Amino acid sequence: MTDTATLPQTAAPTVKARDVAYIRFSAPDLDVMETFVTDFGLVVAHRDDDVLISRGLEPMPFLHVVHRGPAKFIGWAFEVNTEDDLHALAGVVPGCSPVHDIGGAEGQLGGGKRVHFVEPITGFVLEAVHGQQAEPLAPRRDRITYNHAGVSERVGVEQDVSGNRAPIQKDPGAPEVYRLGHVVAAVPPGAHHFFMKFLADTFGMLVSDAARMIIPPGAEEHFPPPLVELIKATGSDVMFQFMRMDRGTADTDHHSILVLPLMDGTPAAQLSHAAFEVFSMDDVFRGHMHFRELAAQGAPYSLAWGVGRHVYGSQVYDYWHDPYGHVHEHMCDGDRVDANFGPNVIDMTDPGQMGHNGGNQWGPTVEESGVHNLNGPQCDPKFADQPDDVRSSLLSRDLSEVQHIVDAL
């Protein structure tokens, strides 16, 4: 068995990505998705009959794209540091497109160049971009200041975190999304090891925290048989890795990608969730109350997990299923680290490291909501009510019905 804290990593990756740039979906009803992204706090940058493109406040032209088509998560994009990085990917990654100008509405919004390829382990379409440009959007209000015990940053000014002091409304409205924070994939067990290795070898991703199922010899009977068989079959007890960008001595998010083993029997890789950064804990709670009120009025949104604060990454979080079951997270106050951080080991057999409610510093119990809801859209309480073709397209990695979208990237 591989007795290492993480899976083996390459000393010379193809490139060292800088960040995650945007995520890409298709959906049969763009009107429904436009309502969702607006409710979530994104700003629609472009809308026509075929595509919905949304952005946050940061100086990036977009971070969320939905094409008209079957209900499906298509993939995501990495931002790389130079155009040479794009050429390096095009020259090494099998099936990678040539370097080309970003076209269509996406190119009009921010220019730049791109490559893309279908990653064979997961079937996700991965993209890399460089040179996109956009002006930041001004927030609707100034950054919130807080009076902490013994330290007063706000004196003589009443706190107003959402414009909801007078008149007081039941629904505080959507928070403003600043940026895309991270993407989490749920990949069938065993294949998830290869995908983590691919991300390290290709995009230079580093491991912040690695979760291992360290089963003492002779104690196998006390653990779920699928986990024991997975460890035996793969020769590794690494269950998942929080992976970050390698920016050297510059700080970056604790994780930009997390790869989870998809243990519910779903045969194809799924989007676990995409996380979007908001400014403060008040904004996370504001988003929770906004979605809770909308759901009570009949909007097709379901709570997946929240509100709480993670241990690994430390974010304050709130996760909701969109109308097609894909999970979008509001988060804030995550850890920032540099290339010298970790890797640390999480022993999943130690209750003191994972806790009884999924690695929260505080938050809901697993009976109320939890990480088990993040395996993919099949976890959405509304999934069984979706039409047969929608359920099929959501879980399938067959790209034939969206091939025209991929070819146009």
Q: Give the pair of three-digit tokens for residue 197.
A: 């290795």
In tens, the pLDDT along 237-290 reads 888 899 999 999 999 999 999 999 998 889 999 999 999 999 999 999 999 999
Residue range 396-409, pLDDT digits in tens = 999 999 999 999 99
CA distance 382 to 384: 6
pLDDT, one tens digit per residue, over 289-316 is 999 999 999 999 999 999 999 999 999 9
Burial class (CB in 10 A: 0-12, 13-18, 19+), 349: middle
Residue 202 and residue 13 in contact, taking contact as beta carbons nearer than 8 Å: yes
Span of 78-82, 124-128, 166-170, 291-295 with lowest mean pLDDT: 166-170
pLDDT score for 1: 33
- Cβ proximity of 22 and 65 under 8 Å: yes
Mean pLDDT of 359-372: 83
pLDDT at 56: 98
Q: Residue 208 — very low, low, confident or very high, per pLDDT cuts 50/70/90?
A: very high
H helices then E strands: how many in the chain? 9, 22
Higher pLDDT among residues 153 and 227, named by residue: 153
How many other C-beta atoms can be found within 10 angstroms of the C-beta atom of residue 138? 7
Pairwise CA distance, residues 247 & 341, whole Å:
12
Would you say 74 and 122 are in contact if contact means Cβ atoms under 8 Å apart?
no
Q: Tell me the pLDDT band of 236, cut-offs 50, 70 and 90.
A: confident
Using DSSP's 3-state secondary structure scheme, residue 284 falls into helix
Of residues 218 and 139, the one with the higher pLDDT is 139
Q: Interior CA angle at 258 toward 66 and 4, to 5°?
A: 155
Query: pLDDT > 90: what percent of the chain?
Result: 76
- What pLDDT score does 43 carry? 98
Give residue 215's pLDDT band: very low, low, confident or very high (50, 70, 90): confident
What string of DSSP letters covers 329-394?
A: EEEE---EE-TTS--EEEETT-HHHHTTTTSEEE---TTTS-GGGGS-GGGSTTGGGS-HHHHHHH
Average pLDDT (171-177) is 94
pLDDT at 120 over 80: yes
Residue pointed to by tokens 């906004």: 290
What is the DSSP code (8-state) at residue 297? T
pLDDT at residue 353 above 80?
A: no
Contact 373, 379 (CB under 8 A): yes
What's the pLDDT score for residue 7?
Answer: 55
Whether pLDDT at 371 is above 80: no
Residue 5 has pLDDT above 70, yes or no: no
- Where do runs of H (alpha helix) occur along 235-350? 281-296
pLDDT of residue 9: 57
Report pLDDT for 293: 97
CA distance 87 to 100: 10
6 pLDDT higher than 60: no
- Amino acid identity for residue 1 in this structure: M
Position 8 scores a pLDDT of 54
Burial (CB count within 10 angstroms: exposed 0-12, middle 13-18, buried 19+), residue 340 = exposed
pLDDT for the residue 383: 97
Q: How confident is the model at residue 231 (pLDDT cuts 50, 70, 90)?
A: confident
Per-residue pLDDT, 263: 85
Question: Distance (Å, rounded) from C-alpha 380 to C-alpha 29?
Answer: 18
Q: Give which of 18, 252, 280 is closest to 139, Cα–Cα.
A: 280
CB 122 within 8 A of CB 133: no
* Average per-residue pLDDT for the chain: 92
The answer to whether 119 touches 126, Cβ cutoff 8 Å, is yes
**Residue 115 above 90 pLDDT?**
yes
Q: Pick 34 or 157 by higher pLDDT.
A: 34
What's the rounded mean pLDDT across residues 134-156? Answer: 92
Answer whether residue 2 shows pLDDT above 50.
no
| CA gap 70, 393 in Å, rounded | 6
Q: What is the pLDDT of residue 227?
A: 79
